[in-house]
C-alpha cells in the first residue's frame, strides 16, 4: 500500500547539474511533482545508487537478504549477473534469484548468463542454452546479456556466441563484456560485435583503449578485485561513459558499505559532484534501461536523503515511495527462503591430495595478488618427501586443491604462493565459475578435513587449524545462505579472522581463494580437471 507524502530539502538534479531548495511530492509510489521553493529542511535529496555489475551470490546471501544489507547504504537497484547460480543449477537457478528478489522492495535487474558453463575446461553443474536465454529475455526483470567472457568466441565469430548476442539485439538488450587485457584491434573487433561494457580493466591504459572503441567502463571495487585507484582518474573526461560496480562483495564488506563508499572516495579526490553521481546513479539506469527513478516528475520515487555532499552520510532510502532504510537501519524484514542445491560427491581421504614426484625437480606455482583476480605463473624448486611433492611453508608455497562437487572424482592439486597460511587449511564451495570446492592448506590432513566439512554441509566456507574447526554452511546452491544476512556477515567475519590468525596476510583470503579457479582470468589457475594457463587456454603440467 502506497502512502502519499512530501520531502523537502536541497534537491540535487544530476542531469541538469543543478542544486536548489524545494519539495518532492510522492503519490502512489511515483514523484507527482517537484516544487522549487524555500525550505528550512537540511536534507539533500538525490537519486539512489545503482551497482552496475554484481554477482549477488558472492555476498553468500540470497537476493532478499542482499537487499536488506544494501539499502542502508543508499543502494536502490543492482544490475545483477546470476552467472554463479547458473553454473550450478542452470535456468532453474536464475529463476530462483528472480523470484527471491521479487519478495522484497528492492530493484534487482538480472542478466541472462551468456557463458554457462564458462569454459569446457572445468566441470559445471548445468548449461544455459540460447533457447534458455531467449526465454529469460521475455521477463521484465532481465535487462541484458550478462558478461560475454568467451571473448575468443566473439573474435572468431563462434556461431553459438553470435546467436546469443543476436538474441540480445533482437530484444533490445545491452551486452556486457568481460575481456581482461584485450586491446587494440582485438578490442575493436570485440566491441564491433555488440559488446557495450567492460568491468575487468585493471589499468587506465586498457580502459582508455576500450573507451576509444565505444565501450563503457565500469570501475570495480569489490572484496577482492580493487580497480578504483587505477581507474578513477578517467572520470573527469569520461564521466558520461563510466559506472561504479562491486562485482563481488562478501557479506562483511556489504555491512560496511556499498556504492556509497566509492562516491565518498571519488569526492575526496576532488572530482566534480555531478560527474561522480552520474556514474553512481544515472549512467546504469540509462545504459541498461532500468525502471529506476532519477528524481524527475513522473519517475518511480527511488531516492535517498543525505546530510550533505561533504560528509555524504545516508539518512534515508526510498524505493517506489517506500521507506526501506533510515539512519543506517534497514526496514526490509527478514524473509524466509527455500533452499535448492546440486551437490554429489563423497568425502575425500588425505592420501588423495598427494602429488607424485616422479622425476620432477621444479613446480609451477600460482602467484596470487592481493586485491586482484589475475595471477602470475612462477617456478619453484620441488620439495620432495618420500616420493611426493609437498608444500613449503617457509617459502609460502602451499598446496591448492579443487574438488569436483558434482561427480565423485579425484581432487586436482597444484601449488600456490602468497596465501601465507602457517598451519591448517581453508576451503570454500564458492569457487568461480563452476563452484567446485577450492581449498588451500599446509598439510594433506588439514586439506581433507576442510574439504570434508564442505561436503558434509553440501556447501560452505570452512577453516581448520589452531586446534579448532569453523564452518559457515551455504546450503542454497552451495554458495548462499538463506539465514539473516547480518548473522551471516558476523559468522563470515569470524572465519575470515581465523584464517588470518592462521597466517594469511591477504585482505580477503576466501574471496581471493575463490578466484583461483577462475580460468577466464589469466595467467595460471586450477580447475577440477587440472592446472590451466589462461594466456594460451590450455592445461599445463604441475611439475617438470
Residue 53 in domain: yes
Residue 424 in domain: yes
Domain that holds residue 490: 350-539
- Residue 516 shares a structural domain with residue 371: yes
Listed residue (512, 354, 501, 523) closest to 418, CA to CA: 512
- Residue 80 shares a structural domain with residue 210: yes
> Is the bond preceding residue 433 a cis peptide, omega within 30 degrees?
yes
- Residue 266 shares a structural domain with residue 357: no
pLDDT number for residue 269: 97
Residue 332 in domain: no
Which helix (H) or strand (E) covers residue 409, if one does? none
How many domains is the chain partitioned into structurally? 2
Q: Which of 259, 292, 325 is the last residue of a domain?
A: 292
Q: Which of 292, 319, 342 is the last residue of a domain?
A: 292
Is the entire prediction scored with pTM above 0.85? yes
- Residue 288 shares a structural domain with residue 357: no
Per-residue CA distances from 314 to 5, 20, 75, 100 (Å):
20, 19, 10, 26
Q: How confident is the model at residue 1 (pLDDT cuts 50, 70, 90)?
A: low
What are the φ and ψ backbone dihedral angles of 397, each rounded to 5 degrees?
-110, 110
Residue 408 in domain: yes
Three-class SS state of 196: coil
pLDDT number for residue 521: 87
Query: What's the mean per-residue pLDDT of the chain?
Result: 96
CA-CA distance, 112 to 163, in Å (whole number)?
Answer: 13
- Residue 96 shares a structural domain with residue 181: yes
Q: Which of 277, 292, 307 is the last residue of a domain?
A: 292
Contact of 318 with 304, CB cutoff 8 Å: yes
- 526 bridge partner residues: 531
> Residue 56 maps to which CATH number?
3.20.20.140
Q: Which residues have CB under 8 Å from 513's CB, separation 6+?
A: 419, 426, 428, 431, 438, 439, 440
Residue 389 in domain: yes
Q: How confident is the model at residue 420 (pLDDT cuts 50, 70, 90)?
A: very high
pLDDT number for residue 379: 96
Residue 132 in domain: yes
- Residue 357 shares a structural domain with residue 456: yes
- Tens of pLDDT along 43-75? 999 999 999 999 999 999 999 999 999 999 999
- Residue 180 shares a structural domain with residue 276: yes
- Residue 287 shares a structural domain with residue 404: no
- Residue 86 shares a structural domain with residue 174: yes
Amino acid at each position: 500500500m502506497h502512502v502519499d507524502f512530501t520531502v523537502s530539502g536541497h534537491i540535487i538534479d544530476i542531469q541538469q547539474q543543478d542544486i536548489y531548495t524545494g519539495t518532492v511530492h510522492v503519490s502512489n509510489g511515483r514523484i507527482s511533482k517537484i516544487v522549487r521553493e524555500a525550505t528550512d529542511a537540511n536534507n539533500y535529496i538525490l537519486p539512489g545508487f545503482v551497482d552496475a555489475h554484481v554477482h549477488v551470490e558472492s555476498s553468500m546471501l540470497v537476493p532478499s537478504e542482499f537487499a536488506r544489507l544494501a539499502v542502508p547504504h543508499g543502494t536502490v537497484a543492482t544490475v545483477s549477473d546470476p552467472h554463479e547460480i547458473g553454473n550450478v543449477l542452470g535456468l532453474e537457478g536464475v529463476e530462483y534469484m528472480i523470484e527471491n528478489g521479487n519478495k522484497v522492495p528492492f530493484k534487482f535487474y538480472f542478466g541472462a548468463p551468456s557463458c554457462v558453463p564458462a569454459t569446457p575446461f572445468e566441470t559445471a553443474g548445468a548449461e544455459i542454452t540460447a533457447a534458455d536465454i531467449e526465454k529469460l529475455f521475455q521477463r521484465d526483470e532481465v535487462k541484458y546479456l550478462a558478461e560475454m567472457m568467451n571473448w575468443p568466441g566473439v573474435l572468431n565469430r563462434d556461431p553459438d556466441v553470435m546467436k546469443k548476442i543476436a538474441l540480445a539485439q533482437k530484444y533490445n538488450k545491452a551486452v556486457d563484456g568481460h575481456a581482461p587485457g584485450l586491446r587494440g584491434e582485438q578490442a575493436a573487433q570485440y566491441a564491433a560485435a555488440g559488446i557495450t561494457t567492460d568491468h575487468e580493466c585493471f589499468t587506465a591504459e586498457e580502459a582508455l583503449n576500450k573507451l576509444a572503441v565505444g565501450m563503457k567502463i565500469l570501475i570495480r571495487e569489490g572484496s577482492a578485485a580493487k580497480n578504483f585507484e587505477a581507474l578513477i582518474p578517467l572520470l573527469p573526461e569520461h564521466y558520461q561513459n563510466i559506472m561504479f560496480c562491486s562485482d563481488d562483495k562478501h557479506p562483511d564488506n556489504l555491512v560496511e558499505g556499498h556504492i556509497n563508499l566509492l562516491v565518498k572516495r571519488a569526492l575526496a579526490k576532488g572530482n566534480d559532484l555531478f560527474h561522480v553521481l552520474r556514474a553512481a546513479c544515472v549512467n546504469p539506469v540509462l545504459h541498461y534501461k532500468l525502471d529506476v527513478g532519477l528524481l524527475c516528475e513522473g519517475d518511480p520515487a527511488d531516492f535517498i536523503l543525505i546530510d550533505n555532499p561533504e560528509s555524504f552520510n545516508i539518512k534515508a532510502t526510498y524505493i517506489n515511495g517506500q521507506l526501506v532504510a533510515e539512519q543506517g537501519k534497514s526496514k526490509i524484514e527478514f524473509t524466509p527462503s527455500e533452499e535448492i542445491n546440486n551437490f554429489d560427491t563423497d568425502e575425500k581421504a588425505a592420501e588423495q591430495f598427494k602429488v607424485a614426484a616422479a622425476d620432477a625437480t621444479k613446480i609451477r606455482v600460482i602467484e596470487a595478488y592481493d586485491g586482484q583476480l589475475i595471477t602470475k605463473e612462477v617456478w619453484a624448486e620441488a620439495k620432495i618427501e618420500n616420493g611426493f611433492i609437498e608444500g613449503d611453508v617457509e617459502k609460502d608455497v602451499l598446496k591448492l586443491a579443487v574438488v569436483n562437487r558434482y561427480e565423485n572424482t579425484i581432487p586436482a592439486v597444484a601449488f600456490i604462493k602468497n596465501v601465507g597460511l602457517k598451519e591448517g587449511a581453508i576451503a570454500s564451495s564458492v569457487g568461480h565459475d563452476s563452484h567446485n570446492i577450492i581449498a588451500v592448506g599446509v598439510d594433506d590432513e588439514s586439506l581433507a578435513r576442510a574439504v570434508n566439512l564442505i561436503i558434509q554441509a553440501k556447501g560452505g566456507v570452512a577453516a581448520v587449524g589452531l586446534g579448532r574447526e569453523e564452518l559457515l554452511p551455504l546450503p542454497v546452491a552451495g554458495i548462499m545462505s538463506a539465514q539473516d544476512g547480518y548473522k551471516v556477515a558476523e559468522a563470515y567475519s569470524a572465519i575470515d579472522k581465523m584464517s588470518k590468525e592462521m597466517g594469511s596476510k591477504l585482505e580477503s583470503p576466501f574471496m581471493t581463494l575463490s578466484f583461483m579457479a577462475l580460468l577466464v582470468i589469466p595467467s595460471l589457475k586450477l580447475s577440477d580437471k587440472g592446472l590451466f594457463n589462461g594466456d594460451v587456454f590450455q592445461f599445463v603440467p604441475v611439475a617438470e
